Structure 1
């Protein structure tokens, strides 16, 4: 089973959501897990993971990780070409390096061109920037490319985003 995660920040709290799915062809989640977090750390430029990682771990605590083979996060695994971690890298470490992480980002950093692979989906001229840890980068890119949907964002990731942003 696979797990995709996202967090959305509201005025006074954060909403952290995880969706599980069985195959890249799935159009709807098998399960949806939601956590509301009230004591969210303030945003610190260059250290976004300090705000987001606790939110992800809170929703992950509701899931049997023995059933999860890959986790997808909205963000980067690396923020530079030297291997400095972004959110996905820190999550990999927090989970004792047991589950491969795929980062799916909408924007690229100018410092991580060598640690991401651009994936063009559907008719979009804007790529998704894929990064990975615990698995081969080309396999991670193929996984995202194979996910259901005819648009830039795979169906399940778009669904996840919608659930995360809903009231």
Structure 2
């Protein structure tokens, strides 16, 4: 959207995500954690699989009853086949990727202990995105930084957004 509507988008915050999902990035992230595919990691079929996903995605150790996990699986992972197909379709080969040089300011907001998309990856993405990119790392947070450290995350988000859209004193 930022690439298509340059005049409408003044700034973008990227958190625990990539500008484009490259096959090489997905394979490195997934295999480094011990999964065979992206869909195996993101679409668990068992309570143990969900526990593994959440332990990889968060910095804190979640200790919840198994009933919570089974209810979560039932509610969130219906239409598994369609979700897996959609997920695999999002991944494009490295040869097809063209990371645009955005004109807008981009702020990469990352959890220091992200095991899925590690901090070094975010720093490389910052270099590829261009000169308008900034990078910030929040301590004691993983891939789910917005859930684990919401106060710090929102503070950083507000700070970036206020620098992109300075307060004019008028309300719309």
TM-score, structure 2 normalization: 0.29
Q: TM-score, normalised by structure 1?
A: 0.29
Q: Which has the larger radius of gyration?
A: 2
Question: Whose strand fraction is larger, Structure 1's or Structure 2's?
Answer: 1
Higher helix proportion (structure 1 or 2): 2
